């Protein structure tokens, strides 16, 4: 599933989403309902623990979605190259 927002800050092309990010996004509302006071960091921690213990066929489905999303991203942005940026200190 391609990212709804393909351009981020300053018009930069965002990276395609990986399997865990897609999984976390699907679980976010459910986790928030179960833990109303949870912030972004806590939701990610809970999702990470669930991902770690998730059955293989569920992980494989998200991996397939991420792969398909990556292919769509590649079609949309054929010249895209991930360029990690150094954080300002």
| pTM: predicted TM-score of the whole model, two decimal places | 0.80
Q: What is the mean pLDDT of the chain?
A: 90
Tens digits of per-residue pLDDT, 47-58?
A: 999 999 999 999
Distance CA(29)–CA(24), nearest Å, equals 9
Q: Do 1 and 17 form a contact (C-beta atoms < 8 A)?
A: yes
2-27 average pLDDT score: 81
Domain ranges of the chain: 14-76
What superfamily in CATH does domain 14-76 come from? High mobility group box domain (1.10.30.10)
């Amino acid at each position: 599933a391609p990212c709804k927002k393909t351009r981020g800050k300053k018009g930069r092309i965002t990276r395609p989403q990986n399997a865990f990010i897609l999984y976390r996004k699907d679980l976010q509302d459910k986790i928030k309902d179960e833990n109303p006071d949870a912030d972004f960091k806590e939701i990610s921690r809970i999702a990470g623990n669930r991902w770690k213990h998730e059955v293989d066929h569920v992980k494989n489905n998200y991996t397939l979605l991420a792969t398909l999303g990556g292919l769509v991203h590649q079609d949309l942005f054929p010249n895209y190259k991930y360029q990690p940026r150094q954080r300002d200190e």
